[in-house]
Chain A
Amino acid sequence: MRITCPICGERDIREFTYQGAAVALDRPDPEAGDEAWDHYVHLRENPAGRTRDLWYHSGGCSAWVVVTRDTVTHEVFDTELAEEAKA
């Protein structure tokens, strides 16, 4: 798998650290209650197919990257900087 960092260009996945589903872009309010937080921290849609997840370019520019990819074929469709992405 190769991921295109919006800043550095196409790189081997060895340069990235995986964080998980891109739910982190949609952090609930601290007072939102345990159900909202359970959804955020634990419960996952876990799709077989198109997914959006967060990768950290730890071996590169340290950017957080939102990757849109296919969990069945490992094809990467699109990447964008997390700071520019909308949940």
Chain B
Amino acid sequence: MRFSGLRVLKEGLTGNKGWRPHWRDPEPKSDYDIVIIGGGGHGLSTAYYLAREHGLTNVAVLEKGYIGGGNVGRNTTIVRANYFLEGNSQFYSHSLKLWEGLEEDLNYNVMHSQRGLINLFHSDGQRDAFARRGNMMNSQGDDAILLDREGVRKELPYLDFDNPRFPVYGGLFHPRGGTARHDAVAWGYARGADQRGVDLIQNCEVTGIDIENGKVRGVQTTRGAIRAKKVGIVVAGRSGQVAAMAGMRLPIESHILQAFVTEGLKPCIHHVVSFGMGHFYMSQSDKGGLVFGGDLDFYASYAQRGNLPMKEHVMEAGMALMPMIGKAKVLRSWGGIMDMTPDGSPIIDKTGIDGLYIDCGWCYGGFKAVPGSGHCFAHLIAQDRPHAAAEKYRLDRFRTGYGLMDEEGTGPQHNLH
């Protein structure tokens, strides 16, 4: 089924009776060339690019819950390429380019909206740091514009510019940054993979990984054993548990990240805006809800909900920056489990086990990475060598200390990112 404007019109006039499920619900086969563990954004995009770029279609994605039930359906949907360090900057640049062709490629409306992202700064030192970051972004062909206070005022007149503690000095504007509909990204990749022959198996939890003589043979699941020549682990917050099934211990701690949404309002926030003096960022969804979040709660957790201190901090920071939101009613808050690495950057690599690959450590920034990660992980699985855009995402960089990517410069240690 191809989607088009004409199709929507026709269905609208004929009672919407022609729509079909977007993917099959197959029984698992006993044998696949490749099994991907985890049906989140990254697992689905990996399967899609395995089929599309490498012609590998005897592939299954095993998801313990339902497609889109993990972080891919819980994030605040920000898509950007404003990273600074080599390794990260080219990867996110690669991913953003894939985003820009995604809807046509998938024939699916993922509502990718390049509404522009503005990171505010509030001191001379922060201005210098952002100027340098912007120059880096421009020099690799991405886009950044340094706005002074009046430049920001034109775009975001509603800010409290003269807040006595945190006056707004300006902002780094990334016009190609924006948001996308998170569920639609999962569904679009799921449909695209399914159309190319990939089996998406839901309610199928992997409970063991079979390894013989250092080589992967398949997996044990709640729906029976499945043999596979290659297995990819892409389970975000659950990476530690699944890797343990292969006897591995990862440089990962799982943490909780919260987000919030208000009642629907008339359009008022037209960009993605982030505060430079507290943990707060916001955008407005197409339904009108103000979607916002802050930082981790900062303790290891698998509860998909957080505690009050970070909620209070985020609300206070929001009120300090844009007092006009104070009358909006918060409808919901929730949390997701983040796979945090010591340097805050991800891992896409082989493991010490033949045929077993891992893609993890996306921390709180893996939604924007969904296309790039799938693209590069599929390349690694299919060709047994890293894709150029992800060649710095080595698993052993912590042990060797070589090639760490600590964007915040706080040190390659847990709990600092």
Contact = CB atoms under 8 A, between A and B. Distances in A.
B398 A21 contact: no
A46 B237 CA distance: 10
Interface of A: 1, 12-14, 18-21, 34-35, 38-39, 41-49, 51, 53, 71-74
B89 interface: no
Interface of B: 238, 240-241, 244, 249-254, 298-303, 307, 309, 342, 398-400, 412-415
Given A51-B300, A71-B301, A74-B307, A43 B415 contact: no
Contact of B398 (A19, A41, A45, A48): A41
A42 B342 contact: yes
A53 B414 CA distance: 13
Given A41-B398, A72-B303, A20 B250 contact: no
A47 B307 CA distance: 19
Nearest to B299: A18
Nearest to B296: A18
Q: Which 9 A-B pairs have the closest CB atoms?
A: A46-B240, A42-B251, A38-B399, A42-B398, A43-B249, A48-B302, A18-B299, A72-B302, A71-B302
A14 B309 contact: yes
B119 to A, nearest CB: 26
Contacts, number: 74
Contact of B307 (A13, A42, A73): A13
Contacts of A42: 251, 342, 398-399, 412, 414
Contacts of A45: 240, 244, 249
Main secondary structure, interface of A, reads mixed
A71 B300 contact: yes
B399 A34 contact: yes
Contacts of A13: 299, 307, 309
A49 B251 CA distance: 18
Contact of A20 (B249, B303, B309, B414): B414
Contacts of A20: 253, 300, 414-415
B294 to A, nearest CB: 15
8 contacts: A18-B299, A42-B398, A44-B250, A47-B240, A48-B302, A71-B300, A72-B302, A74-B307
A46 B300 contact: yes
A41 B309 CA distance: 27
A71 B307 contact: no
Nearest to A17: B298
Contacts of A47: 240
Contacts of B240: 44-48
Contacts of B251: 42-44
A19 to B, nearest CB: 7
A70 to B, nearest CB: 9
B342 A46 contact: no
Contacts of B415: 18-20
Contact of B298 (A18, A43, A49): A18
Contact of A35 (B253, B302, B399): B399
Contacts of A38: 398-399
Nearest to A74: B303
Contacts of A1: 299, 307
Nearest to A46: B240
B341 to A, nearest CB: 8
Contacts of B398: 38, 41-42
Nearest to A16: B299
A39 B398 CA distance: 10
B380 to A, nearest CB: 22
A75 to B, nearest CB: 10
Contacts of A19: 415
A41 B414 CA distance: 8
Contacts of B414: 20-21, 42, 44
A44 B415 CA distance: 12
